[in-house]
Structure 1
Amino acid sequence: MSAKLALIPAIARLRDAGVEDPARDARILLAHAMGIGADRLTLHLTDPLQAPAAARFEAAIADRAARRPVSQIIGSRLFYGRRFIVTADTLDPRPETEILIEEALRAPFDTVLDIGTGTGAILLTLLAERPQAQGMGSDLSAAALAVAGRNAGALDLSPRARFQQTSWLEGVSGRFDLIVSNPPYIALAEMAGLEPEVREHEPHLALTDGADGLTAYREITAQAPEHLAPGGRLIFEIGFAQGQAVAWLMADAGLRDIRVIADLAGHDRVVCGCL
């Protein structure tokens, strides 16, 4: 059977499973099974699908039909032009988070702290874009920190990135030019409405605070002024309805020049303020 013929039933299977873009996902998984880049698949669609590749493709399609995220199946995700290792212990880096990256890069910084670093995608992207900078990523999950460390090594950023297992800013020393965070902001009441890819396959510790979704923002904004250098910035990713609430928390903590930034869909996505 050719690779092209193998795609047809796979796409139908994913469509029946409720996958949003079955053709795209089937192509990505087929390319992965064949050991080629997804951008080269078209050149190989007429090739025979060898038995080992066919077995890998079948297993990948079965996983995706069970709504396991593509990034966990292939083990990585592209973010801001770089590939990051992804596991079930981390959130899948999302395109919307690149808005936080763009905001962070609007002003210079030499030191950065990423709270709840997960894969390390935010911290490591900022370090890669600013070669003079050094930074730290904190996370409560030891498993997530292990993934972040692997990503730092893969991107040759280990000399400039360090990691600490802790809750928010507990035990963190020093002051930083920039503090960033994409914390768990989904309210417990909203969890049931999430897509299965998120609800059933991503770590709940990184998704929800088990309350109203604002716990992390309260904790971090209250402590951030003690850890920001003069003129330092605090930048959060937020849920679409949290902009005003998080802006008020920043104001209460004494931050200034507070702005709420929308994503391409017009939803509030990032809040930033300065000390």
Structure 2
Amino acid sequence: MALREIGENLYAYTGMYNDELHVKLKKLMPDGDGQLQPVDNKGISLSVQQWETIDGHSQEIDAEISRVTELEATSKKSWRISPNRFLSVTRLQSKYMSVYMTLVNIRVHFMKGAEEPVNPTRFGVAMKIAEWYKLIGMKAGINRDITGGKSKADELMTECISFTISQEVKDMSAKNCHGCQIDHPSQKKYQTSGCLIETCLIEDWAELIETYFDCAVDCIKRKDVLALFIKTWDDGDDEEVDLYRLYRSVLRSSEVLALAKLRQWKHLVE
């Protein structure tokens, strides 16, 4: 699950609800163990169809935001995304000052036969304009989560870890053998490290990775992997990345092992 921060303690992520995949816009706060947990009734869970409906209206919503931004009056325009759920662009005036602000509100309403959203419930989220634009900027990543595709960050972290593991395996296969330390032509004629010891006579790289993989995973330094990731990552990408969480989720994945065996990296040079 990729957490994408929209605003202060407000996150977008995908998850299951009633055995169906939903896009969740929720307030999350750390518990006693430092793990982020949902705050009761602070947010909304959208079906994939509801999320796609919002996405389909995004240009109209942006146009309405532009229209009311400098408006010195209250206004409200709504789009229906389900029988009792609406997205509204609302221009409000502060109760205490003559200041206006615009909110994008996605909320469940009590309908009671009404056609317009006039009875809001506590189930929903009100976003500032900057938060709305940040959410829309994340839609490509959210859509990847829905379809099960890997994000750019996942792919790059997989590459960085497999690359670092590959370097570690090369070093370990040499350091663990006295024969590899001998600088002599008779040693260098062999295909791998030039050694006569059993593990170093492994000529197939994939088999060598299999032999040393678990030990290499334990030996690599996280800071080296993250430094390589940061060096390669495109700062212009709109995807929010939690480096430590991503590192832990990818570290021992089968994709890392498979990529290390192939030694084929799109973004890195060995």
> Structure 2 length as normaliser, TM-score?
0.20
Richer in strand (by share): 2
> Structure 1 length as normaliser, TM-score?
0.20
